[in-house]
Structure 1
């Protein structure tokens, strides 16, 4: 016998289930569906990173190296930190898993009520904090940039105030993107950043110049680009956002649970940005040092943002669905495949960047005499150590995403606090004690990234043993063998005295070295029957035969 309220609840769940099946294919998918979504996401992220790269390439030719490029980069520090503090990781850790679980369990409306309250309160808090930051900016920027030239800081302050408006739009964009991810809308949404970057480039080319007025014009152009990006996301999410209702009921139990998930992640995300601010504080050796650090970081972020983030973004809602059903075997299989695929793809890129550090920076950023060979050498040395971080941070990101799928966010906070302690210690050690200069900052980043990866991955295996990935350590040893062989061959080729002049010739020589390196990597994988390489070979055979 069922009570009337139980019958009503079942009827609502059944109606909700029919609605979901009619409107979306949003339940946890099979391997083929996940692979297709991963490919779309990675293509979108690749286009975003390529256009973002092109955007960064324009900075030094238009703004110069140092005097105006440094204020340009410094101006983003506070807005980026506030974004991480107030919304950042909350989308991946709280909003996406909450909606994904609600969809999987036919509780979409209930999940949307909690998410609506979260979005409403987050929007109001963000506006208040951004207003306060605008007032305090003239004290905040000098405080986080000790020892830097006063004229550089004075140029950055008004630009940073303008970029606070862009931060608000980025908050709205992150929220809509999280909603689209929950509904597995990986299509056009994946190309939003590309549109933003193209608009950004147009702004730089049109308004950028080596002056404070030029920096301000660029900042307002960035705000306009972010506004257009948000409108694009809004159009894509219009069907899903019909569920949103402005609500400030902070006593709602679902909202409290959501907040409990979000706060540790927001704090851990803020810690990551604090680490960035700490690293920037050590880049006071010379004007232009922060430009080298950020451009090397942008290069490191290309494969990380395309591969690790692309695979992790698609993994999260599907892994959440499997956990909601307590299907630990599927959880184990999906996470194992995802982290192996991410490492298999990022590994060879890390080796290429490490061995061809000078050629990589020269090809990407040196487009005029304003960027001297000595500047390229400095940026390249920074990039080499960030290649170690690339492998480690891929493990950290994938493992954190897997924790978020379990609705466990405390680990990310613990990890963030640990790195916040280690980062300044390593920075002092490598830049002050051992006097490695700017590259010492990258060495510090690599050191704490490796420790972070070891700790987070170990905690993941211990947290729920029945869902832990299998045979990752043997895979890492086999992967290391392939990468070492590839690195040795590339290093030998790099000893050949070839000094191409002109971008076309530089690109051709770089491409030849890259192809040789990848072929060696492939052959090394075949020689030890590395599963990912064998799978790639079989797919290539099918493509060729068709």
Structure 2
């Protein structure tokens, strides 16, 4: 299958999940508002979200797939199954032990990520309770990630991309159980636990259908094969999760400004959409092909795959980033300003979204560039660069946060700026290292495609800007609804970009036909 078709499968299912996720977040944000209860709920999601993105959205799989695929090709399915089973037992034991430790020491652990509100005993205790309930999601996601890696190695992407939908299907009913915000937060935490169990179960069934039989029964053993997986997986997981760690750091600093976590969370829901739909999907889709090319020492195929991956990622990401920069407050207001989440909250959240938006292409590129290292079983280099970006984000974010607050400005906006700066530094380090090692140098077709995509994005941006300038007239034609107006603008922008991309050659009909044939 082509990169484009694999990405289409991954993105289509992710889109369904993200659309359900929007419904979930609209309901929960309206019920919880922006304040200490929602801050507690956002805190309870920090660890599950981090580990879902680290494990389930490709990071662990990026480290596991090359080893599993190499064993499958060189030694056969039985040897590969043994590697997967032993790795799963070790992973389960380690994450279960970590979960138990967190349960015991949660009041002190949360001082790191929610310490700014520790003086509010009632809501701090609520955050502790909610996080204790959601924490087992870590173990479920670790198991799900390994099984996704097994499926992805056989270029089976449907279940691994579709399983996250179960989280939203569990959380939507939880948002409707009670008018009380605290009860709603508690129900949502329980839904997280149930969703994790269901996701792991569905992927277990999918792996079994591929005639790979895995079992948790038996003592974990650090066999040579497992050690090799872990040597690659630990730094690889850190490398692929740099952006998520930066978000965790930003959220921790945001606890010193009541409501800031809620505002950042609403912004996160929008700018994470292209990252999940495009960056993760392309990264997962190209890894098996890059691994195969690396084993065959086929530099031509490797470069072609990277060119296709980067070109596709940027063609889909640039218009999304431009839209988020043009209308951040309007989009936040249209989707989230209802119930207890006010227009003022939308303004604050939109200010953060603008600065996340210009970092979106970097967030996506990290997901596409890192697999070029993972395919060659080099996970340490991306890990070092991820840690550099974490350091920059922490220092710059803390500096901007407290400096802006001391000057009467919104400190949390500085956290968004730091996250985007850190991401672009990470991209620069990854790209320059690939070029220096002669592992990847972009071809002329990629450069031409990027220029065409930028031109198509500019055309779309003009159309979106003009529609926003005539927003009141537009609203008059859609029942005076801000949400419907936003939907019309988003649809018009998408159609405009599609037509402009075809006219400029950013997207070619021949490429679409070739993808459909594949």
| Unaligned ranges ≥5, structure 1 | 1-28
How far is the alpha carbon of 1:248 from its aligned partner? 5.1
How far is the alpha carbon of 1:96 from its aligned partner? 1.6
Report if the CA contact (8 A) 2:4-2:312 is conserved: no
Q: How does 1:124-139 map to 2 (within 5 A)?
A: 124-139=93-108
Report if the CA contact (8 A) 2:243-2:363 is conserved: no
After superposition, the CA RMSD in angstroms is: 3.0
Aligned residue number for residue 70 of structure 2: 101
Q: How does 1:531-542 map to 2 (within 5 A)?
A: 532-533=506-507, 535-536=508-509, 539=512
Aligned residue number for residue 248 of structure 2: 277
**Deviation readout 1:331-390 (Å, 9 max, x if unpaired):** 11111111100110111111112112122112221232x221111111111111111111
Q: How does 1:288-307 map to 2 (within 5 A)?
A: 288-307=259-278
Q: Tell me, yes or no, if structure 1 residue 329 matches structure 2 residue 300.
A: yes
User: Normalising to structure 2: TM-score of the pair?
Assistant: 0.88
Match for 2:403 among 433, 450, 460?
A: 433
Q: Work out the CA distance in 1 between the residues paired with 2:467 and 2:133.
A: 48
SS in 2 for 1:146: helix
Aligned residue number for residue 517 of structure 1: 493
Q: How does 1:347-426 map to 2 (within 5 A)?
A: 347-368=318-339, 370-426=340-396
Q: 1:241 to 1:367 in 2, by over 3 A?
A: farther
Report if the CA contact (8 A) 1:353-1:387 is conserved: yes
Aligned residue number for residue 39 of structure 2: 70
How far is the alpha carbon of 1:244 from its aligned partner? 3.0
Q: Tell me, yes or no, if structure 1 residue 445 matches structure 2 residue 419.
A: yes
How far is the alpha carbon of 1:286 from its aligned partner? 4.0
Match for 2:114 among 119, 129, 145?
A: 145
How far is the alpha carbon of 1:299 from its aligned partner? 0.8
Q: Tell me, yes or no, if structure 1 residue 339 matches structure 2 residue 315.
A: no
Q: Work out the CA distance in 1 between the residues paired with 2:17 and 2:51.
A: 23
Aligned residue number for residue 53 of structure 1: 22
Match for 1:218 among 162, 176, 188?
A: 188
**Deviation readout 1:454-481 (Å, 9 max, x if unpaired):** 111121222334x433234554444334
Aligned residue number for residue 192 of structure 1: 163
Q: How does 1:467-478 map to 2 (within 5 A)?
A: 467-471=440-444, 472-473=446-447, 475-478=449-452
Q: Work out the CA distance in 2 between the residues paired with 1:406 and 1:503.
A: 55
Match for 2:134 among 150, 163, 176?
A: 163
Aligned residue number for residue 8 of structure 1: none
Q: Work out the CA distance in 2 between the residues paired with 1:129 and 1:542.
A: 44
How far is the alpha carbon of 1:322 from its aligned partner? 2.3
Q: Work out the CA distance in 1 between the residues paired with 2:293 and 2:372.
A: 11
Q: Work out the CA distance in 1 between the residues paired with 2:451 and 2:312.
A: 15
SS in 1 for 2:443: coil
Q: Tell me, yes or no, if structure 1 residue 486 matches structure 2 residue 460.
A: yes
Q: Work out the CA distance in 2 between the residues paired with 1:82 and 1:497.
A: 40
Aligned residue number for residue 80 of structure 2: 111
Q: Work out the CA distance in 2 between the residues paired with 1:374 and 1:37.
A: 41
More divergent stretch after superposition (470-479 vs 172-181): 470-479
Report if the CA contact (8 A) 1:208-1:215 is conserved: no
Q: 1:360 to 1:35 in 2, by over 3 A?
A: same
How far is the alpha carbon of 1:262 from its aligned partner? 0.9
Match for 1:264 among 235, 243, 248?
A: 235
Report if the CA contact (8 A) 2:243-2:419 is conserved: no
Aligned residue number for residue 431 of structure 2: 457
SS in 1 for 2:99: helix
Q: 1:206 to 1:140 in 2, by over 3 A?
A: same
Q: Work out the CA distance in 2 between the residues paired with 1:514 and 1:214.
A: 31
SS in 2 for 1:406: coil
Report if the CA contact (8 A) 1:104-1:321 is conserved: no
- Across the two proteins, how many residue pairs are aligned to each other? 506
Q: Work out the CA distance in 2 between the residues paired with 1:173 and 1:126.
A: 12
Report if the CA contact (8 A) 1:292-1:375 is conserved: yes
**Deviation readout 1:428-477 (Å, 9 max, x if unpaired):** 34323355522221111111111111111121222334x43323455444
Aligned residue number for residue 6 of structure 1: none
Report if the CA contact (8 A) 2:62-2:236 is conserved: yes
Greater Cα radius of gyration, structure 1 or 2? 1
Q: Work out the CA distance in 2 between the residues paired with 1:290 and 1:395.
A: 26
Q: 1:428 to 1:116 in 2, by over 3 A?
A: same
**Deviation readout 1:72-104 (Å, 9 max, x if unpaired):** 111123455567789986632332222223334
Report if the CA contact (8 A) 1:395-1:457 is conserved: no
Q: Work out the CA distance in 2 between the residues paired with 1:361 and 1:537.
A: 37
